Structure 1
């Protein structure tokens, strides 16, 4: 399906230790996390909160396990803070990832985000004003230009509980930003959970997608979260997300479209769950087997 040596398979540490909810996997050490990633057959990882901040130490730990850094999350606040604040932190983040060999930088706009708040995920979703949309577009173009200085690319992460969550919002951001500077992180789980059809965004913005998060959704949990006005963090704790092949999303057409378009880059399995309820190694192995059977990778 995919051309040889075009796809790199990674997995995020969030199934082992959760950045948003430190109590989930709080007792699981970094070494266990990356060792089990390698054992499950993955070749890369995104950087989590337990990873060493020292470049040499992190590089040595990953090299021992034949793992590479795919990227790492960066929180931007272009809609709520002076752009200079975001730029200062972004440059530090960019340089760290560049030193680790990453080619893309995952950026999420966290201005007005409710993903860490105990409020209704759907009823309290932030909506940007016209001025905030302009600030966001300007900020993303600037970050994209800064990434280009290092031969890297910004991939914007649409995300539940933020101002860029729906298909319409993704469309608007892509329309307002420079296609040479701002690219898209395509996250199957966040689109589906938001009530969107992931295939629509995939087809509409195929040429802008430079990074992919493979995340599945448990439909019964997603429905319960919306009907009972629960928060994003409650959704995570209750297991709304899971690995590909364990939820309701059909990944076969997604893989087919990406293969036909000759997508090249990272596929990163990302399914934040409570490791006490969902054994991380078991789910990593399950995801790896499903990707092999479905995409031939």
Structure 2
């Protein structure tokens, strides 16, 4: 008689990686960031096999060079990342596509299958200056949904990539209310979600609940934790996201929330192939700080079964 495999004993279909973000990299070129060669060396040394591209232009944008540099370190690329302001409607399409196409082409060339799409900030991530209203109008919500679907269709048709939209602090897709509104307004066959556990907690959301409610929409994960004490101060003071990160609002697991083991268990129950990419926002940070954290985090995630 055949023996059934219990869900808890199945091999994990979650592939863990890290990203330049965990090395304090937010921009293509910044003197406070570690050189890209050091990032690649250290992310491999920490025990990761998968990475994201990070801000376009930080890692080499020539596919042959990047393939050589990642390959000799035993690294593979899981996704590229783009920022978009699609709630502005068709008027920004050409500019958006010009930005997206180069990144999508490099992502495809690295044999990755995902494009993480982050909505534009309503206040500047460096200065905290308010750029536009924090609340979208009904018309802007309509633009956001239809233009995201258009982007997903074009990226899929031209580059074979799957779009995963990333809810993010200080953007218009942030809280549970706004995330669910966006999901309900978009085609599940076109648009999936990159659930960032830290950003969702930062904005008051419950990652396990979201996975259990909208599991079919979860296409990608970012693993991150928030320091509750710092977050309470950030909320009380109305601190913008950039300065909040400088205060240490995103912390090393397992010191913060949400607990990642229940999140990973809920994701595993989806019985889907998922990437879970570690991102601990630390801009700016001491260049010697990321590697020890990355080693400890990889060990902690192994203890969670991935």
- State TM-score, norm by structure 1: 0.91
Please list, as runs of the form range in 1=range in 2, the aligned pairs for 1:72-83 lying within 5 A after superposition. Answer: 72-80=80-88, 81-83=91-93
For residues 21 and 167 of structure 1, do their structure 2 counterparts lie closer, same or farther at Cα, with a shift above 3 Å needed? farther
Do residues 47 (structure 1) and 53 (structure 2) align?
A: yes
Q: Pick from 4, 18, 25 the counterpart of residue 25 of structure 2.
A: 18
Q: Kindly state the Cα deviation for residue 95 of structure 1 after the two structures are TM-superposed.
A: 1.5
1:94-141 Cα offsets, whole Å, 9 max, x none, are 112101111010001216454344258xxx871111111111111111
The Cα shift of 1:189 comes to 0.2
CA contact (8 A) 2:198 2:257 kept: no
Contact kept in structure 2, 1:18 and 1:24, CA below 8 Å: no
Q: Does residue 103 in structure 1 map to residue 113 in structure 2? A: yes
Among candidates 69, 73, 77, match of residue 77 of structure 2: 69
In the TM superposition, residue 265 of structure 1 has moved relative to its aligned partner by 2.2
Q: Measure the CA separation in 2 of the matches of 1:158 and 1:4.
A: 29
Residue 205 (structure 1) shift = 1.4
Select the residue among 166, 171, 178 that pairs with 1:169.
Answer: 178
Q: Name the CA distance, whole Å, in 2 between partners of 1:244 and 1:146.
A: 37
Contact 2:201 2:257 in 1 (8 A): no
Say whether the 8 Å CA contact 2:195–2:220 is kept in structure 1. Answer: yes
Q: How many residues align?
A: 293
Secondary structure of 1:82's counterpart equals helix
- Paired with 2:32 and 2:124, the residues of 1 have a C-alpha distance of 22
Using the TM superposition, give the Cα deviation of residue 2 of structure 1 relative to its aligned residue in structure 2, in angstroms.
7.2
Q: What is the CA–CA distance in structure 1 between the aligned matches of 2:259 and 2:22, rounded to whole Å?
A: 21
Contact kept in structure 1, 2:194 and 2:220, CA below 8 Å: yes
Please say if residues 13 and 268 of structure 2, whose CA atoms lie closer than 8 Å, have aligned partners that are also in contact: no
Who is 2:4 aligned against?
A: none
Once residues 221 and 298 of structure 2 are traced to their aligned partners in structure 1, the CA distance between those partners, rounded to angstroms, is 15
Q: Which residue of structure 1 aligns with residue 14 of structure 2?
A: 7
Counterparts in 2 of 1:4 and 1:154: CA distance versus 1, 3 Å: same
SS in 2 for 1:138: helix
Deviation at 1:23, TM superposition (A): 5.8
Structure 2 unaligned runs (5+)? 1-7
CA deviation map 1:14-55 (0-9, x unaligned): 1223215966842x2111111111111111111134211111
Match of 1:265 among 254, 274, 292: 274
- CA 1:285–1:222 in structure 2 vs 1: closer, same or farther (change >3 Å)? same
Partners in 1 of 2:32 and 2:214 — Cα distance?
35
Choose from 139, 142, 155 the match for 1:147. 155
Decide whether the 8 Å contact of 1:114 with 1:126 is kept in 2.
no
The 2-side partners of 1:215 and 1:20 are apart by 19
Q: Against the structure 1 CA distance between its residues 127 and 34, is the aligned structure 2 distance closer, same or farther, given a 3 Å change threshold?
A: same
TM-score using structure 2 length: 0.89
Residues 3 and 210 of structure 1, relative CA distance in 2, 3 Å threshold: farther
Q: Structure 1: give runs of 5+ residues left out of the alignment.
A: none
- Could you say what secondary structure the match of 2:244 adopts? helix
Query: 1:21·1:233 contact (CA, 8 Å) conserved in 2?
Result: no
1:9, distance to aligned residue in structure 2 (A): 1.3
The CA distance in 1 between the partners of 2:172 and 2:206, in whole Å, is 18
Is the deviation greater in 132-141 or in 107-116?
107-116
RMSD: 2.3
